[in-house]
Amino acid sequence: MKNIRNFCIIAHIDHGKSTLADRLLDATGTVTDREKQDQLLDSMDLERERGITIKSHAIQMDYVHNGEKYILNLIDTPGHVDFSYEVSRSIAACEGALLIVDAAQSIQAQTISNLYLALENDLEIIPVLNKVDLPSANPEEVTDDIVDLLGCKPEEVIPASAKTGLGINEILTAIIERIPPPKGNPEESLQALIFDSVFNPFRGVETYFRVLNGEIKKGQHIKFMATGKSYYADEVGTLKLKQQPKDVIKTGDVGYLITGIKEAKEVKVGDTITDSKNPTVNMIEGFEDVKPMVFAGIYPVDTEDYEELRNSMEKLQLNDASLVFAPESSAALGFGFRCGFLGMLHLEIIQERLEREFDMTVITTVPNVSYHAYTNKEPEVAVLVNNPSDLPDPSKLNRVEEPYIKATIITKSDFVGSVMSLCIEKRGEITNQTYLTTERVELTFDMPLAEIVFDFYDRLKTVSKGYASFDYSPIGMRTSHLVKVDVLLNGNTVDALSALLHRDNAYDIGKKMCEKLRELIPRQQFDIPIQAAIGAKIIARETVKALRKDVTAKCYGGDISRKRKLLEKQKKGKKRMRQVGNVEIPQEAFMAVLKLND
């Protein structure tokens, strides 16, 4: 056990985590030349296309140091703020972390928030200064920043370049010398923490775990404590590039387990595995409960696929425990699910994965956040409003509270003005402004979460020319003056397009929504009025004009009354058609509402 090291890699997005993981795998001879490829651990097509890590990946390496054999378990983590839950799970399974900072970009918002996560779990931090070979690198200045942040000595910061392989051996030595071996009692009954799982269509659910006490053997009768169900361990093994079956996984090690479970619901990430004959008394404290930030409805295009969509979502939830969903129905779209996501990128990725991995074509409604509504009833009870249609009747409504976040933005001092005006436009209040260096400023805002759901991240990157990094944490609910804006098509409310907006923005956004829908809804044989309304009051209107046949074409010359008669007849037909006609809304219309500023 003293020769096992469990560690993860944490950093801001694009600071070179996956490339460094590649170099560590090369240096320890874990991959052959034939298996080598860039970003080897990013196994999903989506990750490769976008160049981001979405899932944390575990892999085991063997390394000989001073004549002794060591087992290194590495977990590569995502850097994007939307996947911070993945990071918290990886950290729970480790004793140490490599904190990577880009020598050209210095410390960013996500670096700091991931570092705090690691420190809360008492991890040993090894600071690595990556990309020192870049012409724009500033090693001395960035080393000083790291020393200020961590309170370590300058010589403890390892300069490295994941591209050229500089400093890799020093990193491996530091992992062995600085990170403590796992603690645990091999004599106690089995106690293992599940930190991830995937669904294999041929073998059922594969569970990834870290053994804290005891050991797990092939064929052992084990029990999952959260569900209370018992299974036989058909296969246990370690996670090399391919799975390697073993007879036993001992204390402190990381491995996988296959029990032939076919039901995705039976495995919960954060659960404890124990021996069913001699169970452990205490469950391991799992990770904190995930708090979804953004809610959207996901509906199958064909209502018959509802059950299939449920199965796909359950399998996806195995692999991405931060997805939360519950069934709901909509008048416009039929049966579907109300899903909670950690942010807009997370929503986009889930939608892509449903389509690619499970062949499900889905319709996503306008994302929103969850509000608390208080009615005039005594005593006060908060009604949870996840969907604008759940909002109580305005005559009974006392107040509505919306979630606020503390947003931390680190940017160059040249862009402070434009970042501030963007945040103030989004109803943010500045609470703090600190100059980290003469060039870099940390701004802290209290902002409504609803305002950052839509296009905030994209616009922040635009106004700061890509130099702003953004991180947020929830700070509770505050009272706001919110109104429900409905969209009416041909006089009928489309519940999937309703939105809860701040009164000051309602008119502008209502108008923009109507204009956007007018471009997207195809023309019919009759006029389609598109209206935005607050209650019974119409605040904006656009009309999609009818396609018309020229009925007077055959009347050349002649009396005007003949033409009038034909036109009147056509008008009556159009009116009747408008009463019976219904309007199909294309899928782009639901998504276009998000991009109102384009």
Residue 16 annotated as part of some ligand binding site: yes
Residue 130 annotated as part of some ligand binding site: yes
Please identify which residue in the block is written with the tokens 């004959």: 277
Of 305, 410, 407, 408, which Cα lies nearest the Cα of 358? 305
Please report the DSSP string for 287-322 in residue order.
PPPP---EEEEEEESSGGGHHHHHHHHHHHHHH-TT
Query: Which stretches of 44-103 are DSSP H helices?
Result: 45-50, 84-92
Q: Find out whether 37 and 25 touch, Cβ atoms under 8 Å.
A: no
Burial of 59 (C-beta count, 10 Å sphere; 0-12/13-18/19+): buried
Phi, psi of 413 (to 5 degrees): -65, -20
The full length of the chain comes to 598
Distance from C-alpha of 305 to C-alpha of 302, rounded to nearest angstrom: 6
Please identify which residue in the block is written with the tokens 């860039």: 38
Question: What SS3 string covers 280-296?
Answer: CCCCCCCCCCCCCCEEE
Angle at CA of residue 162, ends 161 and 168, nearest 5°: 80
Q: Is the peptide bond before 300 cis (omega within 30 degrees of 0)?
A: no
Residue 15 annotated as part of some ligand binding site: yes
Distances (CA, A) of 183 to 88, 253, 501: 20, 11, 52
Q: Find out whether 514 and 504 touch, Cβ atoms under 8 Å.
A: no
Of 423, 424, 373, 376, which Cα lies nearest the Cα of 400? 373
C-beta atoms surrounding 355 within 10 Å: 13
Burial of 241 (C-beta count, 10 Å sphere; 0-12/13-18/19+): middle
Reading the block at residue 441, the tokens are: 């400023």
Burial track 89-121 (b if 16+ CB lie within 10 A, e otherwise): bbbbbbbbbbbbbbbbbbbbbbbbbbbebbeee
Distance from C-alpha of 25 to C-alpha of 33, rounded to nearest angstrom: 11
Distance from C-alpha of 317 to C-alpha of 320, rounded to nearest angstrom: 5
Residue 278 annotated as part of some ligand binding site: no
Residue 138 annotated as part of some ligand binding site: no
Of 72, 103, 98, which Cα lies nearest the Cα of 87? 98
Q: Find out whether 496 and 297 touch, Cβ atoms under 8 Å.
A: yes
Residue 495 annotated as part of some ligand binding site: no
Q: Find out whether 542 and 517 touch, Cβ atoms under 8 Å.
A: yes
Distance of CA 339 to the CA centre of its chain: 12
Residue 114 annotated as part of some ligand binding site: no
Distances (CA, A) of 129 to 138, 139, 167, 175, 185: 10, 7, 10, 15, 36
Residue 234 annotated as part of some ligand binding site: no
Reading the block at residue 590, the tokens are: 């639901």
Distance from C-alpha of 42 to C-alpha of 59, rounded to nearest angstrom: 12
Phi, psi of 511 (to 5 degrees): -65, -45
Question: What SS3 string covers 228-241?
Answer: CEEEECCEEEEECC
Angle at CA of residue 47, ends 41 and 52, nearest 5°: 90
Specify binding-site residues for GTP. Answer: 14-19, 130-133
Specify binding-site residues. Answer: 14-19, 130-133
